[in-house]
Copies of this chain bind each other. A is one copy, B any other.
Amino acid sequence: MKVGYLGPSSSFTHNVAVKGFPTAELVPYETISAVIRSFEDGDVDYAVVPVENSIEGSVHETTDYLFHQANLRAVAEIVQPIKQQLMASRPHEKIEKIFSHPQAIAQGKKYITDHYPQAQIEVTASTAFAARFVAEHGDLPYAAIAPQAAAEEYGLSIIAQDIQEIDENYTRFWVLGETGQEFALPLTAKKMSLALTLPDNMPGALYKALSVFSWRGIDLTKIESRPLKTVLGEYFFMLDVDNSNAELVRFALDELQAIGIGYKILGDYQVYQI
């Protein structure tokens, strides 16, 4: 079995792919669109892509691609905690420069300011690039902020562990596939993700759409408006709803259609936790 994922091999997406598909052949792609396309083209059996980070928010390259350009679905979700490590080639007496991607720098900022106030911060295009650069300049007093796997990949030592400021940092990953996939991971929920397009001529259409779920007691775990990219100020709406009672949700979808609100199912999945 082949599984496409957003590379490089020290990324969080790679870790999710390994945990989900320990025996599969894993194929890295450089962009999210390329991962999704690899599945559309039949080059891989499953594709693993990030869909939302608790700090940064939705990964719109994923959700917009699924809404606008693809006719496929998430069949499983895996939630991965995000932890950042400070790593160097060896323990230096004084760290002069710290390299990382802006998001990882932001997450480790407080630790760095407290413990390495004199270090110069250098921005890189990815955490993997930062780790590789530090490994390539092993004799210089440099460090990188990157995931654990990057230390293993580039032979660096972790000099400070879990330096991210906010503990509640996790990323949701979607597994795209033809059929649902069960994983040997703790199961936490069943959800459905929908994209709604509301008719212009229906005042309060969003309110009506939500009432379809609300009066049935179906919990909403996420809502977000997204520009339709056609006319300024026109939107579609992404909803995540609890799907533990699938029959109730099916009735809700039927009612949406009956009142003239279009929807596309972006995912129908069980949620697993790493």
A interface residues, Cβ below 8 angstroms from B: 31, 54-58, 60-61, 64, 102, 106, 123-126, 129, 166, 168, 170, 203-204, 206-207, 210-211, 214, 217, 220-227, 229-233, 235, 237
A-B contact pairs, 21 of them (CB 8 A): A54-B227, A55-B60, A55-B227, A55-B229, A57-B57, A102-B125, A123-B126, A124-B125, A125-B125, A168-B231, A170-B232, A204-B214, A206-B220, A207-B207, A207-B211, A222-B225, A222-B235, A223-B223, A223-B224, A223-B225, A224-B225
Complex formed: what's the CA distance from A148 to B252 in Å?
49
Q: Which residues on B sit within 8 Å (CB–CB) of A58?
A: 57
Overall SS of chain A's interface: mixed
Closest B residue to A235 using CB positions: B222
**A166 vs chain B, min Cβ distance (A):** 6
Q: Which residues on B sit within 8 Å (CB–CB) of A203?
A: 217
Q: Which residues on B sit within 8 Å (CB–CB) of A123?
A: 125-126, 129
How many copies of this chain does one complex carry? 2
**A252 vs chain B, min Cβ distance (A):** 13
Q: A54-B232, A57-B224, A125-B125 known; 10 other A-B pairs, CB under 8 Å?
A: A31-B106, A57-B58, A57-B60, A206-B220, A207-B210, A210-B210, A222-B225, A222-B235, A223-B224, A223-B237
Closest B residue to A211 using CB positions: B207
**A207 vs chain B, min Cβ distance (A):** 4
Q: Which residues on B sit within 8 Å (CB–CB) of A231?
A: 168
Closest B residue to A54 using CB positions: B227
**A210 vs chain B, min Cβ distance (A):** 5
Q: Which residues on B sit within 8 Å (CB–CB) of A170?
A: 232
Q: Which residues on B sit within 8 Å (CB–CB) of A211?
A: 207
Using known A-B contacts A57-B58, A168-B230, determine if residue A214 contacts B207 with beta carbons closer than 8 Å.
yes
